[in-house]
Structure 1
């Protein structure tokens, strides 16, 4: 039986988070969502996602710090960083800290789906 790839969307913008989660579910992914880093870590503790889509600007913890926490606990989880604010520095820091990709919002869904599969494949190679 086919098991869908499990994703966790972490973004404090409710409309963006819900819309993205719904669109990814429609594409066949298993998707859960969290509004901040603490919710994300709790969700990961309950059931680790294979790929996390993580906003850089979160209300409780900086996205780069959240990335470090996720990679420390779940090193084989792929992480894609998203930002509504163009920052080459944040993107480079995210990649250096273990993110597979850094994308600007709004993100094109077909491109994001491709990056999700790449992040999952790369994480499996690192395990």
Structure 2
């Protein structure tokens, strides 16, 4: 099953390698390096799954997630973070995300999460 995936991460080497590996598996991948570009890219074509970094310059992953969920509540968003996902007040700022994965994440784990996200949205059938 080929998916349309949008990756947003400011770690260029990481996200480009990830895009290449997903592409080798037949997925159509678009890459951006910041939150504003992610929102702009969504205006061009809505992906089936989004994978975003939590800590990006400019517009953070949290802000991107909030805007995406307001405009497209059914779009599954996977959050990648190298930081703790729960804030000092015990609140989960990743609420609304399909899944939150901590970097470094195994490629197989991320691939499984992307597939599960697409299946959960009804975009594809197993």
Greater share of helix = 1
RMSD: 1.8
> Residue in 2 aligned with 1:47?
45
Instruction: Give the gaps of 5 or more residues in structure 2.
Output: none
TM-score (structure 1 length as normaliser):
0.87
Q: How many residues align?
A: 120
Q: Where do residues 53-92 of structure 1 align in structure 2 (5 Å cutoff)?
A: 53-85=51-83, 87-89=84-86, 92=92
- Partners of 1:33 and 1:25 in 2: how far apart? 11
TM-score (structure 2 length as normaliser):
0.88
Instruction: Give the gaps of 5 or more residues in structure 1.
Output: none
Does structure 2 retain, via aligned residues, the 8 Å contact 1:82–1:102?
yes
Does structure 2 retain, via aligned residues, the 8 Å contact 1:76–1:124?
no
Q: Where do residues 113-124 of structure 1 align in structure 2 (5 Å cutoff)?
A: 113-124=111-122
Which consecutive aligned stretches of 4+ in structure 1 deviate over 3 angstroms post-superposition?
A: none
Q: Which among 18, 21, 27 is matched to residue 20 of structure 1?
A: 18
Three-state SS of the structure 1 residue aligned to 2:86 is: helix
